[in-house]
Structure 1
């Protein structure tokens, strides 16, 4: 029986652990949080930080694993690539994975290879951020270079907002580096989703509309709806340019989490390409929408199984993933459903119980549950997801 090591055991990572068990593999879960829910589905659990490359490598050697994966996590992706390279296991190049998981390095890579990118700069203090804002004369984004889930990300319009934004970004950066970049106005929906590489070629290009809560934090995604509302021409442009990124980085296998948009002039901006499956139940939503199980293919790729049979399939369902979240802080009392939404929910998992304290949804870490919702049409799906406050309410007191 092949052994696969999974880095991380949170709710969203259960998808990969369960997929590995369905395929008959021996699953070893590793992270520093023993109460994480995915651990109970694994065969073994070890309490080691997924950032500790040497400790993870030592354990992998000891257990003689056949593969390692970082499902849904940018943070542990470099560790997985590091261990796999040293042990000669299937992986993408560590240097490429490190570029894709660092916003500053990825921006530099895009610039050097003539991709369209927002004007940006690395900033070391508040003064540099203020100078950059004044120089541009228009809004900027301030971000930690190594955080995910929109943690520490702020849109800054005026000088008076810079200090708080810089402090917020700094608090979420593990390496302490901050990037400021020009804010680009998108023309329509931001596009999310997952691609999947087989022998270096994009075999799956699963696109979704990304939705935000305009009444809470308009920068933090609350869900993704499949299929995406995007023209064939724009899809082809995005696929071609993202394939160019993958080829330049010598990426060969596995899932790539997508985040891109087109501006008001129709120009493509690649925002992020994560070397892993998406969070927020994106893999699960794709499976419901078109029947392709990218969780299983991620596991197979990690242990070197043949994945050449992976093919795109047409969408036959309108599916959204949805992050249950609160628009204000307080003690959770329950969920209120309106306008017939409850009958459309096909998966509903809460991470908390009545009486637990919840925080206002300022970043992805404050989600309190997850759903998959099935709609009868794309029009109904888009209308609902753009006004979720009329359908699902998190009640707090």
Structure 2
């Protein structure tokens, strides 16, 4: 059996690891966290930093891998490209991987492609940040250029808040530089795409709905397909095509997020991997019939013979997510019932247990989530309501007993 290296071992990488083994590969699974659940399915577990490119290249050669891959996470994308490039394996190229994982470079490339961008500036110190914020004469958003999970992202509505939040953003930035950008509010879209040998096609376009929690830039639901009118959806898809092809992606699944300001559509970010929270593994499949993991594995190992057929299944689907209040879980009801419903699919509810000490939800990684489907948007909303009614979790907090935070 040949070996394939998979970078990442958390819940979201499990579908990829399992599919690789089903196809017939030994899995060399890499993560620094020995407790991550993906290691239960690994043939060869490697406990190492997924950003350590030289070390993982050494392991890749040692295990004589036939391919290297990651999905649903940004952090290992450059490492996967570096290993593939140095071993002559199929990949997207290190330069392209860097472009897709640096928010500043994304905006610079958009300008090069004559794609409108929000006002932005890359800054390395608080003085530069204050100067740009003053020039904006409005709210801004501060974010590390090369991190994920919304860590270190803050809305800035005053100079005092900027000074307070600046160092936190810097702490999450590996390059020690942060992006400060014009803040707008408007309809948001998410688009998944597929590329093989530079030939691109949009897969699904959906709507993003956020939690109403200050400085928590996390979606409570992402619903596919979008309810926007056909012409607007086509505009979003056309922009996504222009960006992904213009960025030079050779192969793989892409995940892009957009926001509207008035009638203009702007890129928030794009990624050379599938969307997290099982968008890649489940929501694409439910919507199009594509086995995303099989496609990614065959592409990474050079065994893909032709692009899989993409079809519209007619399904409406989403992930629905919630946070738990800060405290201790004292009661759990309805998890088994929710898992047994005909319209629920994958979830991470098994990470909730009696006595769990919940922490402040400073980023997306604290979310609990469920993949849900229906035959129409109305049916999906009904199914989501039934799940909320069935899932009763109680957390003892300083303010008393509280339940899940859904919005």
Could you state the TM-score of these two structures normalised by the residue count of structure 2?
0.88
Task: Tell me which residue corresponds to 2:254.
Answer: 256
Deviation at 1:175, TM superposition (A): 2.3
Residue 246 of structure 2 corresponds to residue 241 of structure 1 = no
Deviation at 1:140, TM superposition (A): 0.5
- In 1, the alpha carbon distance for the partners of 2:260 and 2:25 equals 41
Contact 1:90 1:304 in 2 (8 A): yes
Contact 1:217 1:361 in 2 (8 A): no
Task: Tell me which residue corresponds to 2:329.
Answer: 332
Task: Tell me which residue corresponds to 2:146.
Answer: 146
Q: SS of the counterpart of 1:35? A: coil
Alignment of 1:84-95 (within 5 A): 84-95=84-95
Deviation at 1:251, TM superposition (A): 1.4
Change (3 A) 1:220 1:386: farther
Alignment of 1:53-72 (within 5 A): 53-72=53-72
Pick the aligned partner of 1:269 from 266, 269, 290.
266
Deviation at 1:125, TM superposition (A): 2.6
Deviation at 1:387, TM superposition (A): 12
- In 1, the alpha carbon distance for the partners of 2:184 and 2:84 equals 37
Task: Tell me which residue corresponds to 1:112.
Answer: 112
Deviation at 1:141, TM superposition (A): 0.4
Task: Tell me which residue corresponds to 1:374.
Answer: 373
Alignment of 1:43-82 (within 5 A): 43-82=43-82
Task: Tell me which residue corresponds to 2:131.
Answer: 131
Deviation at 1:289, TM superposition (A): 3.2
- In 1, the alpha carbon distance for the partners of 2:48 and 2:189 equals 35
The CA RMSD measured in Å over matched residues stands at 2.6
Deviation at 1:383, TM superposition (A): 8.1
Task: Tell me which residue corresponds to 1:213.
Answer: 211
Contact 2:326 2:358 in 1 (8 A): yes
Task: Tell me which residue corresponds to 2:308.
Answer: 310
Q: SS of the counterpart of 2:348? A: strand
Task: Tell me which residue corresponds to 1:37.
Answer: 37
- In 1, the alpha carbon distance for the partners of 2:151 and 2:384 equals 22
- In 2, the alpha carbon distance for the partners of 1:114 and 1:386 equals 43
Q: Which deviates more, 249-258 or 127-136? A: 127-136
Per-residue displacement from partner, 1:65-122 (whole Å, max 9, x unpaired)?
1100121121110000011011110011210110110111111111222111110011
- In 2, the alpha carbon distance for the partners of 1:105 and 1:262 equals 21
Per-residue displacement from partner, 1:254-293 (whole Å, max 9, x unpaired)?
01112113322x2121111111111111021222233222
Change (3 A) 1:48 1:395: same
Deviation at 1:195, TM superposition (A): 1.0
Task: Tell me which residue corresponds to 2:399.
Answer: none
Change (3 A) 1:71 1:348: closer
Matched pairs, number: 391
Residue 195 of structure 2 corresponds to residue 197 of structure 1 = yes
- In 2, the alpha carbon distance for the partners of 1:96 and 1:148 equals 18
Change (3 A) 1:198 1:235: farther
Q: SS of the counterpart of 1:111? A: helix
Contact 2:200 2:245 in 1 (8 A): no
Task: Tell me which residue corresponds to 1:232.
Answer: 230
Change (3 A) 1:393 1:179: farther
Could you tell me which runs of 5 or more consecutive residues in structure 2 were left unpaired when the two chains were aligned.
397-407
Q: SS of the counterpart of 1:219? A: coil
Deviation at 1:314, TM superposition (A): 0.8
Could you state the TM-score of these two structures normalised by the residue count of structure 1?
0.90
